[in-house]
């Protein structure tokens, strides 16, 4: 306690007394009035007329808070998280203790400044592999140690990750690294891909996710495509898209997955079926990422189309890893997320006002003619343009009010619409 007159125990009326804590690691409460008291006049029965305002002064021990986890580390017991508390810093079996605290040992103490003294203590040991990165994307990682997160992003403007969540390096994973299994890369040959039926230019071999066209089956009781992966894999996720070109559109709305390990075995039906989104006027190219809660071991797989929009068409890729000889010690909980276009096309010359049909010199209605709206997309190309009514084509004679709609689709399920109102005068 600090007073103006250190020789007197009395405090004059309206004078302040300054308070401070004299013990290291103890501080006054974090309030506006915690560091002073004022002599006030406030007589109450049974109490002095003059007294020092405020609560009873206190100097609690500083709190370091719960210590943050360290990859591969194990912490000993501690009574509380306040000044002078401590715990032993150790490492899990597969890791080696390295570094020391500021006191040259492995005892972590709560310091007077409210910070745990970890010094440069750490646990060195095995690390996860580089998990790769999505096409046209990048990776952000400080390390590949256990517990570390790896994040991803997309380089191209207008593109986003299907799932923005980071992946984590964990102990006893299902896979060291979850990555594409070879359809898009071409590792799986055309001869390993078959289907119940196929259309010209949309054969089974075009079922690869990066194919320009895709696979389309004919109308039949149950349409499916089968793939021999060449060896047993742990399948952890399925990437599925529909097909959209100037010739044909189609997207599965429900698919069924079958798998087996050997050619002489019966297929196992994965339950339940997978449902894909369906939106007007048609999200055919939208990518769906189906993550299996538990991997399946498979060499032979079938993807069957139970229901669909317009036509039974799809493109797909499998994600997972090779069946390991020895279970991995460290690996990632998920694979990287693909980058997809999230930006709709844009019509450059869509009329903003209604088009009024003009009359000739004798009052006859003249042909309607205008520049057909054109669309551009940030991906660099448009997958398909539709006009409704389908028979509408300029120049054209119109005798009643007509509503025309131009629809532009990109390859990732984004759509732009140009609506034109053509009015016939009375």
Report CA 79 to chain centroid distance, whole Å: 39
| CATH ID of 179-323, from 1.10.10.10, 3.30.700.30, 2.60.120.260, 3.40.190.290 | 2.60.120.260
Q: Is the pLDDT of residue 414 over 60?
A: yes
Query: What is the rounded distance in angstroms from the CA atom of residue 224 to the CA atom of residue 217?
Result: 8
pLDDT at residue 33, as a whole number: 67
Residue 421's contacts (CB-CB under 8 Å, 6 or more residues apart) are 354, 355, 401, 403, 404
Of residues 61 and 206, more confidently modeled: 206
121-135, 179-193, 297-311, 319-333 — which is least confidently predicted? 121-135
Span 171-196, average pLDDT:
96
Residue 261's contacts (CB-CB under 8 Å, 6 or more residues apart) are 232, 297, 298, 299, 300
- Candidates 206, 292, 220, 222; CA nearest to 254 is 222
**Tens digit of each residue's pLDDT (9 = 90 or more) over 203-253:** 999 999 999 999 999 999 999 999 999 999 999 999 999 999 999 999 999
pLDDT at residue 7, as a whole number: 62
Q: How far apart are the first and last CA of the chain?
A: 96
Task: Name the CATH topology of 70-125.
Answer: Complement Module; domain 1 (2.10.70)
pLDDT at residue 395, as a whole number: 93
Nearest-10 Cα torsion for 104, 110, 112, 113? 100
DSSP codes of every residue in 256-320: EEEEESSTTSPPEEPSS-EE----TTT-TT--EEEEEEEEEEEEEEEEEEEEEESS-EEEEEEEE
Give the CB-side neighbour count of residue 138, counting CA atoms within 13 A: 6
**Tens digit of each residue's pLDDT (9 = 90 or more) over 123-147:** 988 889 999 999 899 999 998 988 8
Span 288-306, average pLDDT:
97
- Exposed, middle or buried by CB within 10 Å (0-12, 13-18, 19+), for 355? middle
Q: Give the SS3 label for residue 38.
A: strand
Q: Give the SS3 label for residue 333.
A: coil
pLDDT at residue 6, as a whole number: 60
Q: Give the SS3 label for residue 347.
A: strand
pLDDT at residue 5, as a whole number: 58
Q: Is the pLDDT of residue 333 over 60?
A: yes
Which residue do the tokens 């003059």 mark? 50
């Amino acid at each position: 306690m600090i007073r103006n007159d250190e020789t007197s125990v009395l405090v004059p009326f309206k004078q302040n007394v300054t308070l401070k804590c004299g013990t290291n690691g103890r501080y006054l409460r974090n309030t506006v009035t915690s560091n002073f008291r004022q002599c006030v006049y406030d007589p109450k029965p049974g109490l002095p007329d003059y007294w020092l305002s405020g609560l009873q002064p206190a100097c609690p021990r500083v709190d370091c808070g719960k210590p943050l986890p360290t990859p591969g580390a194990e912490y000993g017991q501690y009574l509380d998280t306040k000044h002078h508390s401590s715990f032993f810093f150790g490492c899990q079996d597969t890791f080696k203790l390295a570094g020391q605290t500021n006191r040259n040992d492995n005892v972590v103490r709560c310091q007077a400044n409210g910070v745990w003294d970890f010094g440069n203590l750490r646990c060195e040991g095995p690390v996860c592999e580089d998990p790769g990165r999505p096409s046209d994307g990048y990776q952000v990682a400080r390390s590949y140690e256990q517990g570390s997160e790896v994040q991803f992003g997309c380089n191209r403007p207008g593109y986003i990750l299907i799932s923005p969540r980071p992946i984590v390096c964990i102990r006893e994973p299902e896979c060291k690294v979850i990555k594409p299994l070879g359809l898009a890369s071409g590792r799986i040959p055309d001869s390993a891909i078959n289907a119940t039926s196929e259309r010209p230019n949309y054969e089974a071999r075009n079922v690869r996710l990066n194919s320009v066209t895709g696979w389309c089956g004919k109308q039949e009781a149950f349409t499916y495509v089968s793939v021999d992966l060449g060896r047993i894999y742990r399948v952890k996720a399925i990437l599925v898209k529909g097909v959209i070109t100037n010739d044909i559109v189609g997207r599965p709305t429900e698919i069924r997955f079958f798998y087996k390990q050997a050619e002489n075995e019966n297929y196992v039906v994965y339950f339940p079926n997978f449902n894909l989104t369906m939106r007007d006027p048609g999200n055919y190219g939208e990518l769906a990422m189906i993550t299996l809660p538990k991997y399946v071991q498979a060499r032979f797989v079938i993807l069957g189309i139970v229901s669909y929009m317009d036509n039974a068409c799809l493109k797909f890729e499998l994600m997972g890893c090779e069946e390991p000889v020895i279970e991995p010690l460290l690996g990632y909980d998920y694979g990287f997320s693909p980058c997809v276009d999230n930006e709709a096309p844009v019509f450059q010359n869509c009329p903003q006002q209604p088009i009024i049909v003009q009359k000739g010199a004798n009052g006859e209605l003249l042909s309607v003619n205008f520049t057909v709206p054109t669309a551009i997309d940030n991906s660099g190309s448009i997958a398909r343009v539709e006009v409704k009514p389908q028979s509408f084509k300029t120049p054209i004679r119109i005798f009643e009010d007509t509503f025309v709609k131009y629809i532009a689709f990109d390859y990732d399920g984004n759509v732009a619409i140009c609506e034109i109102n053509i009015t016939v005068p009375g």
